[in-house]
Structure 1
Amino acid sequence: MSTVLIIVGLVAVGVILAAALFHAGRGRGVRGQGLKRRFGPEYDLAVARHDGDRRAADRELTERVERHGGLKPKPLPNEARVQYVAQWDVLQKHFVDSPGRSAAEADQLLARLAADCGYPEATRYEEQLSALSVHHGEQVGGYRRVHSAANGQASTEELREAMVAARALFDVLLAARPEDTRKHKAGPDRHTRRGHRHLLHPKGSGV
């Protein structure tokens, strides 16, 4: 084989390898953008946890989707939704006197609510958080914040902010279509909306 043919062959192999690497990198970029849209703030958190390694973050989040993407959340009966809103209102009213206890109860309430909606059991916090992040990436950070604040050394203001952030996930879980769709066709009922209005300035509460 002549030297010219060898050179041509090597160049062709180089072009093929370059094209393969380009398409592989492009594929990873597209996948990463899809994950970022799905997970929202959770995507940046995963990248930070892996010291800026986006490939590692993509692998972690892809594994979460594979484990929990097929989960079908269950809507709550209206009676259960009303009870959950009432319980949150009570712990908000007690925040001024017992901020730490109120945050701990908010953490536990969210865990029970998520389990009732079909997510992993409350006793499996990390697995429950992982599943919630797949379906509610924009709101799950509030759950992490209130869990961390309730189980660590946090100031009253940090506890208040954590509870406010956690309420976003609380509301979105309650907003799932209830079983009686004939009476409640869309969105939270009036009890849920009332609880949301009182979130920032509930009577008798500092939350």
Structure 2
Amino acid sequence: MTTKTSLNPGLEYNNETVLYTGSFITVNKEQPKANAVVVQSGKILFTGTKDQAETFLNTNNLSYRHDAQFEGKTIVPGFIEAHMHPLLAALFTGIFEYAGQYDRLGVGGKLLKGCSTEDTLKARLLELKKAHDDAGKTGEWLNLWGLDPLLMTDGSVVNRDFLDSVIDDSPVFLMHASCHLAGLNSLGLEKSGYSLDDDPELYFAKMVD
């Protein structure tokens, strides 16, 4: 079994006008299905039946090539994002500081640089610590989000010790990009009521009860 490291576009973008026929799911409630699509320069010019598409092409004096490679197949839009939480992303971007591993746009279109190595992430944390301290917030919570451990290119582990090595005088809460996990420094754990002396099984039992 072989695995491709990257995927190429399924269709080459050029100025040629192509009439594709097949079964197309449009995700358009006014026209949910079609059996013909006209494409040119990476743009869909027309969607409908084959007869309608040919009428469109002739009316607009467009020379074209008919491509039947999708006949007997079902085609769906390729720009579907299957697991995005735009409201959560907007919320965290607006009220938390970004500590993710890739560049993204923040509030007002501000570019938030990603930090994917130990050195760049520590530099980012030091920058945020300085702003936090300069605002007179030393000792108050510093809330961060965006960490994806798998995207740390140098294999660095971002845990309590990592956070302690940079910030030890303010509690730090670092939400993972998944929003299912978070990391805290020692002061953050202490303020949250956790102790390294706790029995995890006993503590969990108390939470369940």
Q: Which has the larger radius of gyration?
A: 2
TM-score, with normalisation over the residues of structure 1?
Answer: 0.21
Greater percentage in helix:
1
TM-score, with normalisation over the residues of structure 2?
Answer: 0.21
Greater percentage in strand:
2
Higher relative contact order (CA 8 A, sep 6+): 1
